Amino acid sequence: MSELQNNYRGVFDGRLGFGRKPALLVVDFVNAYTTPGAALYAPPVADAVKETVDVLALARAKHVQVIYTRVIYAAHGRDGGIFVQKVPILRQMVEGEPLADIVPELSPTPEDIIINKQYASAFFGTSLAATLTSMGVDTLILTGCSTSGCIRATAVDGMQYGFRVIVPRECVGDRRPEPHEANLFDINSKYGDVVTKAEVLAYLESC
């Protein structure tokens, strides 16, 4: 056991476990992160997309609700507030921009829900919490990008709204391994359970 793990042992190592009714949340898996040459391109995110394909397929086969998010701003960008001032590249995420579209490997179906958001958390300023609550969902399987941004923010809010947040580590990605691993560690310590994709698939098989 590492010094870091030993320091957290018995204090920040609890487990939530899976609940009775899940939903699969696909956060911001859009072309901007998987297109070589794009400013936001991140090969680890492209890898996470590939790992999510069979999770998505099984969720649909088990009639688990699938919900997507993507970041979309008005052409003037004012609805991005301070966020687009801090990260100006986000201003390119407007309706009609191909880089803002959900990746073709994970194309939505008519049964899915797509939520447009303007900030990191999938919950902030959106109908996500009310939608999940109305369906009786207690377990949120969280996939997408980036681990240190939208995934972490969504995990924190998901816990605060009372959902069991489950993160299959192969199905989230970031630009660099350092923030990716650091944020997975924090999510697993305080906000949800970071598990293997195999554990998620086994849970979905039982649904």
The residues near 189 (Cβ < 8 Å, ≥ 6 apart) are: 8, 12, 13
d(CA 5, CA 95): 44
- The β-bridge partners of 25 are 67, 142
Which residue type sits at 109? T
Q: 207 catalytic, yes or no?
A: no
Tokens for 169? 């580590």
Residue from 145, 150, 171, 207 carrying the catalytic annotation? 150
Enumerate the active-site residues: 150
